[in-house]
Amino acid sequence: MTDPIVTVTPNPVVDVATTVDEMLPDRKLRCSAMRLEPGGGGINCARVIDELGGRSHAVYAAGGATGALLDELLDDEHVERTRIDVNGRTRLGVHVNDEQHDEQYRLAFPGPDVCADLADALIDAVVDALSAGTFVIASGSLPPALPHDFYAVLAKRVRDVGAELVLDTTGPWLRPALDVGVAVVRNNQREFGELLGEELDRPRDRERALRSLVESGAARIAVMGLGADGSLAVSGDGAWMVSAPDVDVVSRVGAGDSLTGALTLGLARGWDTPLATAYGVAAGAAAVTTPGTQLCTASTTDELYERTIRENDLT
């Protein structure tokens, strides 16, 4: 059996999704039946990898009654995992669809206060699950009190054992990790713009920005998500703009995690950068066709991957 792709989620979430006729203030709003799903960037990527026929191992921190609920939801999906206990309660995420205006409201809480030694416990658990050549996905925010260099320390430890780190985060945690260097950095246009202090509205500026990250050693591959337009990928071998297939959008939640999970699975299978990027784009497009916080499905991803390959002439 091949080594699993290891994911790490310092700040997981139990996602609660529902629908209302219309969002109005000062009213009791009658909701549809709630849907509960395990969440957080790394956990979502693990679920995507499993759905697409790969094998994952999720490392995450959890605590309290909501942490127990998270475990129950992961049990339901048979996710292979290592849990690190924390004293605080795992956070909730609230997602509400306004049917009348076709709008989506997403509430994200900061997560529990944790002890600083959680960082070492998480990183040790990740490294224990690795062997040379294994891919690791580090994704999502950090809970309060976890040091800002968490992903940087993780990047160094992963590199020391000869594994490959895929980083999908933003904010103050991103730059320190890129200063160490990672195998892949995946973000959207706005997040890369915030990192580099540029708008990145023009295609040539986007490619230049990603090339600067690759040439500086910050990442071997840089991938910029562009929503419905697809993704731009840059490596030392070239640059590829992979357009996304047209789909009917139901919910945009989960598209980025689906993209990152599928992209990493493609790379772990030995695919080249444009094909792995196309697989990620297809998974992201598949995710937006599912309601609420649901991720991509294998059947839709495979169908859209064939379209993406054909429409971008990547055969």
Q: Please, are residues 286 and 301 in contact by the beta-carbon 8 Å criterion?
A: yes
**Which entry of 15, 50, 149, 257 is annotated as an active-site residue?**
257
Q: How many CB atoms are located within 10 Å of the residue 245 CB?
A: 20
Sign of CA dihedral 23, 24, 25, 30: negative
* Residue 50 annotated in active site: no
DSSP states of the chain: -PPPEEEEESS-EEEEEEEES---TTS---BPPPEEEEESHHHHHHHHHHHTT--EEEEEEE-HHHHHHHHHHHHHTT--EEEEE-SSPPEEEEEEEETTTTEEEEEE-------TTHHHHHHHHHHHT--TT-EEEEES---TTS-TTHHHHHHHHHHHTT-EEEEE--GGGHHHHHHH-EEEEEEEHHHHHHHHT----SHHHHHHHHHHHHHHTSEEEEEEE-GGG-EEEEETTEEEEEPPPP---S--TTHHHHHHHHHHHHHHTT--HHHHHHHHHHHHHHHTTS-TT----HHHHHHHHHHHHHHTT--
Which residues have a Cβ under 8 Å from the Cβ of 236 and sit 6 or more positions away? 214, 220
Q: Catalytic positions, please? A: 257
